[in-house]
Amino acid sequence: MAQINHSVFKSDFFKKFTIYGVGQFFNLVTPLLVVPYIVSVCTEEGYGKIGVGLAISFFLMVFIDYGSDILGVKEVAVNRNNPEKLETLFTTIYTAKLFLLLIVLAVTCLLIFFVPYFNQEKRLFFFGLPVLVGQFINPTWFLQGMENFKWITFSNIFSKVVYVAGIFWCIHEPSDYVYNNLFWGIGMILANSIAFIYLWKQYGFSFKKTQKSHITSYLKSNFSMFGSQIFVSLQMYFPIVLVSYFGNNTMAGQYKIIDQIIVIFRTYILLFFNFIFPRVCYLLETSKAEALQFWRKANGLNFGFTLLLLLLISGYSFEIVDYFNPLNVAHISNLLQIALLIPLLQSIGQPLKQLVLGWNKQKMYTHTTMFVTVITLLLIVLLTPSLDVLGVLTALIISEILVIAVFLYAVKNKLFNSTS
C-alpha cells in the first residue's frame, strides 16, 4: 500500500488528475447554480426546450469531432515527441473539422427554415449554433493527448463563468430561455479560442503545409469511429424518448430523476477514462508491462472509489430521491438502487475499452458499439410496455454486460499473457 501511495498519490499523475478534476468538478457544479434560477424564470416548459436544443447540439457535435476526441487523442499521445507529426495532426484535423462544421451548419439552417418542428423554435435553434462553432475550435483533444490538463481546466472554468454570467445578466422573463444555449456557445468560443491561440503560438504550427491527401486519409480512417460515436449518442439520448413514447410522461420523469443521479457517475467515469487514456496509449507503445501495471493500479483504485460512492448512494437513495421529487419516492428509490449497477459495470467496461483502443482494435470497437446500441434500443422497446422504467434499466444493464464480455474477449490474450 505504501508503494502504491508513493507511485500514484505522490506522482505527477496525481497532481495532473487533481488539476483536471477541479475543472470537471466545476462542470458538474455549474448546473446546480443556474438550473433553479432558469426554471423559476422560464418555467419547466422553457427549461425543457433548452434541454432539447442542447441535446440536438450535442448530437451534432459528433459530426464535427469525427472521432478526433478518441483517435486524435491517441495519435497526439503516441507522437508527442515528434513535432512534425504533431503539426500534421493539428492542421489536418482542424481543416477537416472546418469542412465538417460548414456542412453541419448548412444542413442545420435548412432544417430550421423548412422543417416545422425546428421552425417553430427557430430562435432557440439558431442561438444553439455557436455551440457547434465552439466545439470546432475546441482543442481539448490535442491538450488531452499532450496531458496538458492545466489548459483544459482553464477552458472549462472560463467557459462556464461566461455562461453563468450570461444567464444571470440576460434571462429575466419566460421568453428569455432562448438565450441559454447562446451563452453556452459564447463561453465555449471565447475559452476555446484562447486555448487554440496558446497552442498555435506555443508550437508554431502553420496551416500552409496542410495537404489534401492528409485530410482525405483522416476522413477515411476515422469514418468507422465516427459511425460508432453516432451510435453512442443514440444510446445516450434515445432512452428517454422511447420511455415517453412507449410509456408516458410520468415514466419519463421517473427515468429522468434516476438519470440525473446516474449521469454524475457516468460523467466521472468518462472523464477518468479521458484522463488516463493518453498515458495508457503512450505506454503501450513503449512498454507493455509498464502500461499494464499503470492500467491496473489506476483503474483498480478508481473502481474501489466508485464502488464506495455507489454503496453510499444506495444507502441514502430514499433521501436523495426525495430531494428531487417527493412523490413516489419509495418506488423511484428502489429503481435507483437497481440503476446503480450501470455505473458500476461502466467502471469495468471503460478500462477494457482503453486497452481495446490502445491495441488498435478500432474496427472491433465500432462493430461492438453499433451492435450493443441496436440491442439496447430493441430491448427498451420490448421491455418498457410491461416493466415500465425497470425495463429501460434492465436493457441498459444488459448492454453494459455485453460490452464487458466482448471487450474482455478481445484483449484477454494480451492482458493475461505477459509474453504476448
pLDDT along the chain (420 residues), means of 10: 48 69 73 72 70 80 87 84 88 93 95 85 89 94 85 89 92 88 94 92 84 88 81 75 62 68 80 76 78 83 89 88 63 89 90 81 80 88 84 91 89 67
- What is the rounded distance in angstroms from the CA atom of residue 223 to the CA atom of residue 228? 9
Q: Are 342 and 389 in contact (CB under 8 A)?
A: no
pLDDT of residue 44: 57
Q: Give the CA distances from residue 149 to residues 197, 294, 356, in Å, rounded to whole numbers and listed in that order.
A: 16, 19, 24
pTM tops 0.75: no
pLDDT of residue 119: 87
- What is the rounded distance in angstroms from the CA atom of residue 170 to the CA atom of residue 179? 7
pLDDT of residue 325: 46
Q: Which of 73, 70, 66, 104 is nearest to 90 (CA)?
A: 73
- What is the rounded distance in angstroms from the CA atom of residue 78 to the CA atom of residue 279? 9
The cell for 107 is: 444542413
User: Is residue 49 classed as helix, strand or coil in its secondary structure?
Assistant: helix
Residue type, 187: G
- What is the rounded distance in angstroms from the CA atom of residue 262 to the CA atom of residue 270? 12
Q: Are 140 and 155 in contact (CB under 8 A)?
A: yes
Phi, psi dihedral angles at 132 (to 5 degrees): -70, -40
Residue type, 42: C
